[in-house]
Structure 1
Amino acid sequence: MSTDEDVTTAGRFAALDRKLKASWEDLFARSRLLKTIQEGRIDKQLYAIYLMETYHYTLHNARNQALVGVRALDIGIPYLKFCFEHATEETGHEHMALHDLLALGLPKEALKIPPPLPMTEALIAYLYWISATGNPLRRLGYSFWAESSYDYVMPLINRVKEDLDLKPAQMTFFVAHSKIDEDHAEQVRRMITQNCKTEQDWQDVERAMTTSLRLMGNMMEEVYAEYERLRREQSPGYAFLGLMK
């Protein structure tokens, strides 16, 4: 890569990072879930609903990532390998979310997996859409923020751990991801550098990044709304959480 190309790529990443920072700031400003965590008011039921919805969308991440790989041959062998290897590494991570939910004190026999909330379904559907249609590179936009999210959310994870008095063994989903996502984030940046050749490629990555993060924020908001319904005894799907010890 020439010096001019290096400068251009660095500038594009700087712009992408600024856009991502602004998107996170917007999410923090409007999310009742995140504010509740920041203020030390989270309880086990709210965290459990978030974990269940995390289970739902994570269940599909390996599948939609692999779907990109099916379409990536025209991009190049390295990108195809990245898609399938990343999908393999993500397989089964949803079970860590269920493990952590049970570790909150819910008897295993009481666990009932409700359907995903509508905004969780919207996030899942969008990730399948960008994986199955359009530019095969654009799912990198989702990976770009998801694999680097700990830069923004680690203080919240630590606050949840402290306020709910959780051990690392009770937070396997976040502990495991925090260890592997740093390497994944570097891989994503490398794939973007190697494969985004046109202005449209970069725009597609940016749009998928901001849209998927906004949809994640919408999911978080619905998690909080469902928690409020649960407290009013108007959430049949999550009524089983009343059995937590």
Structure 2
Amino acid sequence: MDKMVDAKMDQLKAALNQSVSMIVNSYENMPWDNKEFYANYIAQTFYYVRHSTRMLATSAGRLSYEQQQNLHLRFLKHLGEEAGHEKLAINDLKALGYTLNDFKELNATRCFYEPQYFKIEHKDPLAIMGYILYLEVLAQNICPPLSKKLTALYGKKTATFLIVHGEEDPHHVEEAQKMLATLPPEALAIITENLEQSSFAFNLMMKEISDSVQLAKWKKAA
């Protein structure tokens, strides 16, 4: 069993490294100096982050007392740590001079987070770890340099979401990796699948944000 767990952990780590490396490289070429692009990014961040505590609560409630109580308690702890983070995005948006009414929730944003509810309820409550791990390792890699760039462009009050997650998520990643090492191979396979799907959907969201800015430019020029 240990060899199977080790093999599944290796597959998960490989998928994680590939997924995060792909988006980190593309982040450097995104138009962060376009304020509307960044504001839309923050708005879409709000739309999916407001579900974080709800998804964790849904998952925690489906973990058994007999075999998974430690995981249940870990999810509740994480839930508390994530509470209110969507307000950071709203405040950043306000500091940029926008409100949520300026940006509708994109189709790709819904495609990013909505499947998590299905996976939790119909596949495995632990599937959510693929989504969480992807976002937290991504934040670990992109938040420090990106928040520095955006602070220089628009001021510190416009990047509080990124600053906070750049500081907190390395600790979350370390805890998540310890937890994953205790899981059976079947759960690790589902988590890896969700990580790869979440990466794919997140990339689609970033593309739709970029496309919506280009469309707005085209309409103004027409």
Shorter-chain TM-score range: 0.7 to 0.9
- Give secondary structure in 2 for the equivalent of 1:147: helix
- Deviation for aligned residue 1:166: 2.1
Q: Taking structure 1 as reference, are residues 232 and 121 closer, same or farther at Cα in structure 2, changes over 3 Å only?
A: same
**1:231: which partner in 2?**
217
- Deviation for aligned residue 1:111: 5.4
Structure with the bigger percentage of helix: 2
> 1: CA distance between counterparts of 2:158 and 2:24?
25
> 2: CA distance between counterparts of 1:120 and 1:175?
22
- Give 1:57's match in structure 2, choosing from 16, 34, 48: 48
Contact 2:9 2:188 in 1 (8 A): no
1:169-215 CA-partner distances (Å, limit 9, x unpaired): 33111111122212211221122122x12x32221111111111111
1:120-169 CA-partner distances (Å, limit 9, x unpaired): 0111211222222211221111122212223431333333333x1422x3
Q: Taking structure 1 as reference, are residues 183 and 208 closer, same or farther at Cα in structure 2, changes over 3 Å only?
A: same
Where does 1:121-200 land on structure 2 (aligned, <5 Å)? 121-153=110-142, 154-162=144-152, 164-167=153-156, 169-194=157-182, 196-197=183-184, 199-200=185-186
The Cα RMSD (Å) is 2.4
- Amino acid of the structure 1 residue aligned with 2:160: T
1:93-144 CA-partner distances (Å, limit 9, x unpaired): 11110100111134xxx65264411000111211222222211221111122
- Give 2:188's match in structure 1, choosing from 199, 202, 213: 202
1:45-74 CA-partner distances (Å, limit 9, x unpaired): 110000000000001111011100111126
> 2: CA distance between counterparts of 1:215 and 1:226?
16
Where does 1:2-81 land on structure 2 (aligned, <5 Å)? 5=2, 12-28=8-24, 31=26, 34-37=28-31, 42-73=33-64, 75-81=67-73
Largest Rg, 1 or 2: 1
- Give 1:118's match in structure 2, choosing from 75, 96, 107: 107
**TM-score, structure 1 as length reference:** 0.79
- Give secondary structure in 1 for the equivalent of 2:29: helix
Where does 1:91-102 land on structure 2 (aligned, <5 Å)? 91-102=83-94
- Amino acid of the structure 2 residue aligned with 1:90: E
Contact 1:147 1:185 in 2 (8 A): yes
- Deviation for aligned residue 1:14: 4.0
> 2: CA distance between counterparts of 1:133 and 1:115?
29
Where does the alignment leave 5 or more consecutive residues of structure 1 unmatched?
235-245
- Deviation for aligned residue 1:9: 5.3
**1:237: which partner in 2?**
none
- Deviation for aligned residue 1:89: 1.9
**TM-score, structure 2 as length reference:** 0.86
Segment drifting more, 53-62 vs 97-106: 97-106
> 1: CA distance between counterparts of 2:102 and 2:64?
37
* Aligned length, in residue pairs: 218
Q: Taking structure 1 as reference, are residues 178 and 151 closer, same or farther at Cα in structure 2, changes over 3 Å only?
A: closer
Contact 1:65 1:131 in 2 (8 A): no
Q: Taking structure 1 as reference, are residues 226 and 34 closer, same or farther at Cα in structure 2, changes over 3 Å only?
A: farther
Where does the alignment leave 5 or more consecutive residues of structure 2 unmatched?
none
> 2: CA distance between counterparts of 1:13 and 1:161?
37
- Deviation for aligned residue 1:222: 0.5
**1:241: which partner in 2?**
none
Identity of aligned residues (%): 23
- Deviation for aligned residue 1:85: 1.9
